[in-house]
Amino acid sequence: MLFQPLKARAKDLGNNTDFVHWVSPGDSLNRIARRYLPLTDAITIGELVREIRQLNGIQDSLIHPRQPLLIPLSQSTPVKATTIPKQPDFEARGIYINRFSMACQKMTRLLDRLIVFGGNTVILDGKDMSGRLSYPSRVALANEIGADASPVINDPAKLFHYLHQKGLHVSVRLVLFYDPLLAAKKPEVALQAIGTENQQAEIGKLEWVDPYQEVVQGYNLDIAKELAEMGVDEIQFDYIRFPTEKIFQNATCSLDEQGIPRYEIITDFLARARKALAPYKVLLSVDVFGIAAWGRLEDIRITGQKIEELAKHCDVICPMIYPSHFYSPFQGIPNPGSQPFLLISESCKRFSSFLNDTKVTLRPWIQAFPYGAENFDEEYILEELRALDQSNSRGWMLWSAGNAYDVAWKALDQWNKRSLEGITASSKFFRYY
């Protein structure tokens, strides 16, 4: 394939240099963009395709052999990101961005809004609940099962570098033991419900993998290390637990035959991850259920999340304190979803009691979605922020699975204005404690 330098056209690219790519049989704009993406300023293939079309005056995607195409190259070697170490107790203010938003211009819009309202952290999907990776991987098992078959970010190091340039702390979320893709491709490592009439028929419904299996642990550790090598600042483990669904509570696990408590398996895995990631200077954080703050033995037995043990092997505990996810009635509260200040205040107080003698930071996820909250509006999120402001937590992360943050932006705008005006934190919601 031929390409040659062409004199830069200042009116199109400023100080950048255009190259000519001569189209070969079988070429497509996507294929061409994939080849040159590491040497351009574009973050996604779709973005570069749009730039190539605009630069060459292409109205559709039709190209033909021997057609010259200007390619907006901006560097001679691929960009490499470098982890920017932070102390665990820095005050993170961030949002979650899913794999689908990462693939389009929505991510840029979200980041711009986040920064305007004082945000400094972004949590991106590395491996989501589908078991799919957001980027092309060198991990052999990921290639084997097709986990990276549809990457939305073809040059993750460039993305991380871009985010660093915007002053953002980059955390990558890995969904660990809920992995329907791995379970389907490797049913021998999947959790299977016992007592079913036709267990073979259940294989098609497998979603969870066995946290005790070396294949499962090694796979997730390899992905975490790969991302750390690419220059992320934080690895955040989600679904670092056993399932809570009744059909899985008595699932066949390799550890059950040995009588090992589930919390020991989860804790041992985290300790192993801590050791594996130590050379990369990344923060290690874990997502836990909000109800874990109550330390109930039955919850620990089922999920394997024992906070005081997890805290020995991570930098940040990230409880998912979504008021609407507490069952009704909870602790005498008839409608927990309508009590954001109360639930978050009490949860943070209880989580802090587990962490008082540690150096681990408490950084909660808070609800930025309307599910289960009849009164969800900007005041709802303000109540959550007030509760955190009066707690021992450090910062916050807003969760909306669909990345719908319009209400959150309004809340943050009000929060910033009230902070500037020196208005003391108060709550309009009734307190039960």
Q: Is residue 83 part of a domain?
A: no
Residues 297 and 212 in one domain: yes
Within a domain: residue 428? no
Same domain, 27 and 139: no
Same domain for 268 and 151, yes or no, is yes
Cα Dmax for the chain: 75
CATH of the domain at 69: 3.10.350
Same-domain pairing of 340 and 203: yes
> Could you tell me if 282 and 232 are in contact, meaning their C-beta atoms sit under 8 angstroms apart?
yes
Q: Are residues 68 and 196 in the same domain?
A: no
In a domain, 81, yes or no: no
Residue 430 covered by a domain: no
Q: Please state, in angstroms and as integers, the Cα–Cα distance from residue 378 to each residue in 130, 243, 290, 354, 381, following that order.
A: 31, 33, 22, 31, 5
Paired residues of 252 in beta bridges: 192
Residues 58 and 162 in one domain: no
End position of a domain, from candidates 21, 43, 73: 73
Q: Angle at Cα 120 formed by Cα 119 and Cα 124, nearest 5°?
A: 100
Does 24 map to a domain? yes
238-283 pLDDT, tens digit per residue, is: 999 999 887 766 666 665 556 789 999 999 999 999 999 999 999 9
Cβ-in-10-Å burial (0-12, 13-18, 19+) of 324 comes to buried
Give the domain-ending residue among 73, 104, 121. Answer: 73
Does one domain contain both 53 and 117?
A: no
Give the pLDDT of residue 249.
Answer: 62
Asked if 65 and 101 sit in the same domain, the reply is no
Rounded-to-integer distance, Cα 80 and Cα 248, Å: 42
The residues of the chain scoring below 70 in pLDDT are 1-17, 193-205, 248-258, 420-433
pLDDT at 256: 56
Asked whether 251 and 189 are in contact (CB, 8 A), the reply is: no
Half-sphere exposure in the Cβ direction for 249 (13 Å, CA) = 8
C-alpha of 94 from chain center? 11
- For the chain, what is the radius of gyration of the CA atoms? 24
One domain, residues 165 and 276: yes
Q: Which residues pair with 190 in a beta bridge?
A: 209
Q: Could you list the residue range(s) of the whole structural domain that residue 226 is in?
A: 92-421
Give the per-residue pLDDT at 12. 40
**Do residues 249 and 338 share a domain?**
yes
The answer to whether residue 344 is domain-embedded is yes
Question: Is residue 78 domain-resident?
Answer: no
Q: How many CA atoms within 13 Å lie on the side-chain side of 169?
A: 24
Looking at the 3D structure of the chain, how many domains does it have? 2
- Examine residue 67 and state whether it is found in any structural domain, yes or no: yes
CATH number at residue 209: 3.20.20.80
Buried/exposed 67-98: b ≥16 CB within 10 Å, e otherwise = eebbbbbeeeeebebebbebebebebbbbbbb
Q: Does one domain contain both 98 and 225? A: yes
| Of 304, 272, 286, 137, nearest in space to 208 by CA | 304
d(CA 68, CA 55): 12
The whole-model pTM stands at 0.89
Are residue 60 and residue 107 in the same domain, yes or no? no
Number of Cβ within 10 Å of residue 28's Cβ equals: 13
Residues 6+ apart with CB under 8 A from 68: 20, 21, 22, 23
